[in-house]
Structure 1
Amino acid sequence: MEPMTMLHYINEEQKALSKILDEYDFTLDPRLTKLKTVTILATGSSYNACLSAKMAFEKIADATIVIEEPYHFNHYGRLIAGTDTIIGVSQSGKSASTVDAIKNLKSSEIQQIILTSDLTSPIAQIADYVIDLNMGVETVGFVTKGFSATVLHLMLLAIRVGVSKKQIDSHRLNELKKELYELISHFQGVIDQSNAFFEQHEKILKLGGRFVALGYGPNWGTVKEFETKFTETVRRPSQGFELESYMHGPYLEANWEHTLFFVETPSCNKSRSYALANYMANYVGKLFKITTEDSPDSDTLALNIAVSEEFSPLLLVIPFQVLAYRIATTKGIDLSKRIFNDFDSILKSKIEKVEES
């Protein structure tokens, strides 16, 4: 049997997310009616997924979201006043820092919700309200399908919160579902466009010495996931910045070794992104754009798909997933070969079971 690769899971995303949406339970849940002020605990790609879904969650669920790195929160953080819900997100369910943080809040009166793809995992055993990501266990270490499933699930949870609060009626629910079905139907086309874009620019992408991506709004989460995926796979210095924060210092390191990606959606911030891109083009080796709109520019991956800004990360992360795999492969990196095999056992970043209390 052919071993599963990162690309296999990318190609499964359309089917997997359609299944999630088909099977999601949108009925009123009394436990969600009080959800108003939420702290989310997540790290790595799970953190990036939460950041990608934050705008949609806050808008749809009429809630305030704070996202925390669980290790830092566990040792130095404190809940903001009025917090009524903790959401722990771990695709594998084995993130030691997230498990520890949830366990330490166990005695709290605040409700705890867990999102994981493994219902037998350590994190699933320590909470009463567990949501199955419903996409199976992703065996490749560089998660792609799991990232997109997490983003979608957070958006769907927000919709169910709205239904439970009686702020979303059946008509609005059907509108939101229709928009998501339409968006997901474009996944394979975006994968095809991304592969074609890579092949067009393969030579320059293969030579990239440092990769930087800039995004705004919910696509701050998209470029942070770019940072994670490129660092894990391409293994060259890679970083994702919120658009405005890049202008406050990080631009000073720009030079000919840099490949810049600008992620753009229709927004009041688009003109700001255009202005920065026009300026930076004179100071970096190569500048690309990835946009949901249309463009004749050969250096722009133009998806030409109408999508609301809050749902756009579901589409805009796909090009970076494809590019991460394709660039790593063209550089001769064997992603099936594990490196740092003893990392988790020595640093104890992952756990296999929960100790009895």
Structure 2
Amino acid sequence: MKSIADYVALEPEYYQNILDNYQTLFTQHIDLSKIKQLNSIVIFATGSSSNAAYGARSLMSKILKVPVYIEDPSIAANYLHYSDPNTLYFAISQGGESYSTIHLVEEFIKNNQTIYTLTSNPNSPLYKVSNHVLSMGIPIEEMPYVSAGYSVTILDLILISLVIAQKNGNLNEQQFNSYLDQLQKVTHLLPKVIEQSQMWVNQYQNQFYHAKRVIFIGYGATYGVAREGETKFTETVRNTAFGKELEEYMHGPYLGLHEDDHIVFLEPHGQLAQRANLLKVFLDKYVKNVSTIYANNSNNLKEEDLCLNVDIDELYASLFMTVPVHLLSYQVSRLKGHNLEKSTYPEFDEITSSKIKRI
């Protein structure tokens, strides 16, 4: 079975293949004929799929010029009502086995509503119940703790947004190609990002091995990265981790900080960079371990920081800034002696029916 690190190493290849085939994957399958004027996008997802949606959300909204909402499929299916004919709905489940997502899609179809599902598994229950399926463009990820699938979901959502914007006339050819050029730039630089990230993780993994609690803080596109840090570190290291949006952390959670917290800022050099710097000034007075992963170079670099040297707009940061987070989670889990190929609680799905293997 491939490891998380193996799948991270495959991301440049996966990205390029999707960029080469986005028209087959998405353009041919998205129909806007019933949309008079696009009002919004609603994405239903949980776990890493939800984190990825938050990573893509800012750029999607910029491209489409409409709000992009991310909803929990369980709450949506059981307690909320959706009926806007000018809203596009998407449900994401990489493995296609999430009970709540399958149930939501079934409810949409029962009500004769259109919902697009994004999955990598053509044999999954989600694929079978869906009437509008979009392939993620990658093979099924064998490792239960997804890494490449998370990153690919971000790229897929951005490309889906570009296709929609092209179809409804929001982007001309020149604008469309300009976005594609930026995606190609990230793909080209990704091997170097992986190399730099690996060196940083090798140097600092022992610090995180001893950490009692890790807090990831991001904003904009890196809010999704912070959320994924919480998810993956909790899943693999099996230690307490939190992923917070910058302002969210500053409005309450900071009061629960501990001197021995390990706080990781995810800095895309964006609109809230100065706000993040002010928070770091405060935290440095009370917390021993505060580090920053920067998308590009910084004038305030500390020894424990990481610069990924990708000079690009902040809205693309989620496409590459999770690489060190995934590698860190993986290597610290190995130091802890955890076997990620085996379920920690094999009876969980049997008891809760959280995953549906077949219909």
TM-score of the two chains, using structure 1 as the length reference: 0.94
Match of 1:247 in 2: 250
Q: Distance in 2 between matches of 1:313 and 1:344?
A: 30
Secondary structure, counterpart of 2:328 in structure 1: helix
**Runs of 4 or more off by more than 4 Å in structure 1?**
26-30, 80-83
Match of 2:340 in 1: 335
Q: Distance in 2 between matches of 1:45 and 1:219?
A: 14
Secondary structure, counterpart of 1:349 in structure 2: coil
Match of 2:2 in 1: 4
Match of 1:16 in 2: 14
Cα pair 1:39 1:65 within 8 Å, conserved = yes
State the identity as a percent: 30
Structure 2 alignment gaps of length 5 or more: none
Match of 1:60 in 2: 63
Post-superposition offset of 1:207: 0.8
Match of 2:53 in 1: 50
Q: Which of 257, 262, 267 pairs up with 1:264?
A: 267
- Mapping for residues 176-195 of structure 1, pairs under 5 Å: 176-195=179-198
Match of 1:97 in 2: 100
Q: Distance in 2 between matches of 1:254 and 1:274?
A: 17
Match of 2:289 in 1: 286
Match of 1:173 in 2: 176
Amino acid at match of 2:97: K
Match of 1:32 in 2: 32
Q: Distance in 2 between matches of 1:129 and 1:325?
A: 35
Post-superposition offset of 1:83: 5.4
- Mapping for residues 100-179 of structure 1, pairs under 5 Å: 100-179=103-182
Cα pair 1:85 1:110 within 8 Å, conserved = no
Secondary structure, counterpart of 1:213 in structure 2: strand
Q: Distance in 2 between matches of 1:39 and 1:302?
A: 33
Cα deviation, 1:312-346, whole Å, max 9, x if unaligned, reads 10111111011111111122222223211111111
Q: Distance in 2 between matches of 1:81 and 1:339?
A: 42
RMSD, matched Cα? 1.7
User: Cα 1:268–1:85, aligned 2, differ >3 Å: closer, same or farther?
Assistant: closer
Cα deviation, 1:260-279, whole Å, max 9, x if unaligned, reads 00111222210000010111
Post-superposition offset of 1:310: 1.5
Q: Distance in 2 between matches of 1:251 and 1:24?
A: 42
Cα deviation, 1:261-316, whole Å, max 9, x if unaligned, reads 01112222100000101110222230110111213421211112111121110111
Cα pair 1:234 1:327 within 8 Å, conserved = yes
Post-superposition offset of 1:24: 0.9
Q: Distance in 1 between matches of 2:201 and 2:130?
A: 43
Q: Which of 307, 321, 324 pairs up with 2:329?
A: 324
Structure 1 alignment gaps of length 5 or more: none
Cα deviation, 1:35-86, whole Å, max 9, x if unaligned, reads 4322211111111111111111111122322211111222222237565322
Cα deviation, 1:82-132, whole Å, max 9, x if unaligned, reads 653221100001101001011112133532111000122111122222110
Q: Distance in 2 between matches of 1:278 and 1:256?
A: 15
Amino acid at match of 1:282: K
Cα pair 1:90 1:98 within 8 Å, conserved = yes
Post-superposition offset of 1:259: 0.2
Cα pair 2:205 2:328 within 8 Å, conserved = no
Post-superposition offset of 1:29: 6.7
Cα pair 1:93 1:118 within 8 Å, conserved = yes
Q: Distance in 2 between matches of 1:114 and 1:337?
A: 28
Q: Distance in 2 between matches of 1:214 and 1:105?
A: 35
